[in-house]
Copies of this chain bind each other. A is one copy, B any other.
């Protein structure tokens, strides 16, 4: 028995995106956000998430501009080495100012988000960073009386200016970041807010949409979300609707 199914990666992408374009109503979204919406739908298999997507004005362009700025500055530039926990070494003195345009952190709240980002599509110097497993985090979480996911966002602070944030798991990470912004933390170029679940996910995304502290954002209201969507949102910034051949 040979099963009858599409085996050509390019055709699979093409058919997927065509199906989504035919079924999803993207008319409420800004033109620039539609390829991202299609990739988000592709990542979860649900065309009806379009209704719950919220995209602040110019958000997709802001993310692309952050990546483009970097592209022109990275020749010969390095970025922080990765520590065993998967976190970049933020204490590297070479990178101690937020004005260093040779690197662009893409702060992710989980390893799954980071792994879903198609690394070869990123300009050199742009690097997914996960601080969740940094050795400092458990103590920090205890001191703050919060989750490890929330505490991990404090390690983003120094390099947050102009960065991209992709949250695909923990509502508390998004809540904590919003509290930080309220207290004057530097502003990322873009927040991609896709925490998922039953406790705080809907509320944290609502809070982002209502009070983004001047930060461009894309988010999905309600309980749905996840690391695949957060990663897909980043991939949309670099790939648009191009496939990645897997």
Q: What copy number does this chain have within its complex?
A: 2
A16-46: CB near B (< 8 Å → 1, else 0) gives: 1001100000000000000000000011111
Which A residues are closer than 8 A to B by beta carbons? 1-3, 5-9, 12, 15-16, 19-20, 42-46, 110-112, 114-116, 132, 145-150, 169-172, 175, 178-179, 182, 196-201, 203-204, 207, 222-228, 231, 245-246
Cβ–Cβ contact B116 & A12, under 8 A? no
Q: Inside 8 A of A172's CB, which chain B residues have their CB?
A: 5-7, 12
Cβ–Cβ contact A19 & B198, under 8 A? yes
Cα distance A16–B150 in the bound complex, in angstroms? 18
Distance of A99 from chain B, by nearest CB (Å)? 29
Q: Inside 8 A of A2's CB, which chain B residues have their CB?
A: 179
Cβ–Cβ contact A228 & B231, under 8 A? no
Q: Inside 8 A of A222's CB, which chain B residues have their CB?
A: 45
